[in-house]
Chains A and B, each alone.
Chain A
Amino acid sequence: MIKLESVTKVYKGEVLALHQASCDIQKGEFVFLVGQSGSGKSTFLRLLNKEEEPDNGKIFVAGKDIARLRRWRVPQMRRQIGSIFQDFKLLPNKTVSQNVAFALEVIGRPRHVIKTQVPAILDLVGLQTKMNRFPHELSGGEQQRVSIARAFVNRPLILLADEPTGNLDPATSVGIMRLLERINEIGTTVVMATHDRGIVDTMRRRVIELNNGEIVRDQARGVYE
């Protein structure tokens, strides 16, 4: 599903974010990306989304070399990838259901599809009773659920999560992880960058560790360190 072949990314000609990184992630896998701040986790995710271009090496997403995608094809590719973040990136002037509907509206989904899919996905993330609330009226955990709903409402093949529990307390984080596990069980490939030792150690999934831009460990059913 995701394949990196000796990918190198250098920022401004000097900061080495990724160096000769290679890995192969299969469909339906759940992968943790661990490593210190600045080790290249976020760059890893941004490259998959084509928000950044690698300086060297090849990246394949869903079997396609994404460097060879034409510009106007990039949005099509991104529709197969959902993204969630530490800071949720919700639109403050839209309600919960409007935030989720927005993701469908802007890719041109018809109104009747939006009408049925938005409540369904909010049901899945457990927010069916808070559809008409605004983000600032929700707790952090609830906001992250909204952002997961938005990322997943279009049923992407891949979910990229950049420290999704970074702003949440441990109990709330567990709930979010349960949700991500459920999404993974449906068949979605999940790649999650995290600093959360507890989560990695209890879930025992594949762990890819980055250090100064190099993959120093790639372990099935791994732990944080």
Chain B
Amino acid sequence: MARETLRNLRRNLTLTLASILTVAVSLSLLGIALLLQRGVSNATDRWQDGVEFIVFLEPDITDSQLGLVQEEIERSAAIESYRFVNQEESYREFNEDFFPENPEITQLVTKEIIPPSYRIIPKQLSAAAIEIVASGFETKPGVKKVVRATDEIQKIEKATDVIRWIVLGAGVILLGTGLLLILNTIRMAIFARRREIEVMKLVGASNSFILVPFMLEGTFQGLVGAALGTASVYGANRAFEEWLASENVLNILQSFAVGSGEVWGIGGLLFLVGALVGSVGSAIAAYRFLDV
């Protein structure tokens, strides 16, 4: 049976390649959509662990204004803990954490224009609770800006959401195309072997004996497509990781990294979908054109 399957694959090479490539591309898109989803959910998880907001103060804040803000923080029952980061520390952070390899940028920035800040961890970690506490500081004199971690995450979430749906949609449409192509390949294979099939039925070959080579052929196409798809998803993730490591990427993006375990999980899923598409496509073809 394996020999028959292989022979069929060779006979129908162009159509087989078309099916495999379509499945591969559609599964890559599907995989990348899943990758994006994992990335966003990782980022959200990581930020929720250390949910905090930052109260940036004016660089030229007066001592009395600073005292008022400090008093406010200490008085607030909603705040678990806080840390004051003065100008010197902020400046060091700016140089070392953000632009360690670009002294030309840091040279333009002097200690005096860097804002000091309070890093605050609220007691309640829900976004709504944080919002109430954080917005209370926005109007205080001497406060430049209040930045919530969730703000940035949400922005990226929204952006990736749109991309994800487009990629997912394209992936699903292509997957449908792949299924139809596999169906058609199997139909051609059945047509090419119609004499043999007629004889097989005549002499009493069991239905499964007639059916299985075609099912195997379709499943094989789906699986090869899945293998290529998984490879490209893996490649995409590696490229993303390298990009994160090599360039001066915003710190926040680091939390989007997806572990290799998760990538293999996605790969496993792609194999499952590929096998499913292949066997369903060939099953439909067999059911419609084999008449067993």
Q: Do B204 and A107 touch (CB < 8 A)? A: yes
Q: Do B196 and A91 touch (CB < 8 A)? A: yes
CB-contact partner of A78 in B196, B198, B204, under 8 A? B204
Residues of chain A with a CB closer than 8 A to B210's CB = 106
Q: Tell me the minimal C-beta distance from A92 to chain B in angstroms.
A: 8
Identify which of residues 72-128 in chain A touch chain B, using a CB-to-CB cut-off of 8 Å.
Answer: 72, 75-83, 89, 91-92, 102-103, 106-108
Q: Do B204 and A89 touch (CB < 8 A)? A: no
Identify which of residues 193-233 in chain B touch chain A, using a CB-to-CB cut-off of 8 Å.
Answer: 195-196, 198-207, 209-210
Q: Tell me the minimal C-beta distance from A147 to chain B in angstroms.
A: 10
Q: Do A77 and B204 touch (CB < 8 A)? A: yes
Interface of A: prevailing SS: mixed
Q: Do A78 and B206 touch (CB < 8 A)? A: no
CB-contact partner of A89 in B199, B209, B292, under 8 A? B199
Q: Do A79 and B196 touch (CB < 8 A)? A: no
Q: Do B207 and A75 touch (CB < 8 A)? A: yes
Q: Do A75 and B206 touch (CB < 8 A)? A: yes
CB-contact partner of A91 in B199, B201, B205, B207, under 8 A? B199
- A165 interface residue per 8 A CB criterion: no
Max chain B C-beta neighbours (<10 A), residue from A76, A80, A91: A91
Separation of A79 and B292 alpha carbons in the complex (Å) = 15
Instruction: Decide: A72 near B202, CB < 8 A? Known: A89-B195, A91-B195, A91-B196.
Output: no
CB-contact partner of A150 in B201, B203, B204, under 8 A? B203
- A71 interface residue per 8 A CB criterion: yes
Residues of chain B with a CB closer than 8 A to A43's CB = none
Identify which of residues 157-215 in chain B touch chain A, using a CB-to-CB cut-off of 8 Å.
Answer: 195-196, 198-207, 209-210
Q: Do A103 and B209 touch (CB < 8 A)? A: no
* Size bin of chain B's contact surface: 10 to 19
Q: Do B203 and A108 touch (CB < 8 A)? A: no
Residues of chain B with a CB closer than 8 A to A78's CB = 201-204
Residues of chain B with a CB closer than 8 A to A102's CB = 196, 199, 203
Q: Do A154 and B203 touch (CB < 8 A)? A: yes
In chain A, what residue has the closest Cβ to B205?
Answer: A106
Identify which of residues 36-93 in chain A touch chain B, using a CB-to-CB cut-off of 8 Å.
Answer: 49, 71-72, 75-83, 89, 91-92
Residues of chain B with a CB closer than 8 A to A83's CB = 202
Separation of A154 and B207 alpha carbons in the complex (Å) = 18
Q: Do A72 and B207 touch (CB < 8 A)? A: yes
CB-contact partner of A75 in B196, B198, B205, under 8 A? B205
Residues of chain B with a CB closer than 8 A to A77's CB = 204
Separation of A102 and B199 alpha carbons in the complex (Å) = 9
Residues of chain A with a CB closer than 8 A to B196's CB = 91, 102
Q: Do B205 and A107 touch (CB < 8 A)? A: yes
Residues of chain A with a CB closer than 8 A to B206's CB = 72, 75, 107-108
Residues of chain A with a CB closer than 8 A to B205's CB = 75, 106-107
Q: Tell me the minimal C-beta distance from A77 to chain B in angstroms.
A: 7
In chain A, what residue has the closest Cβ to B202?
Answer: A83
Q: Do A79 and B199 touch (CB < 8 A)? A: no
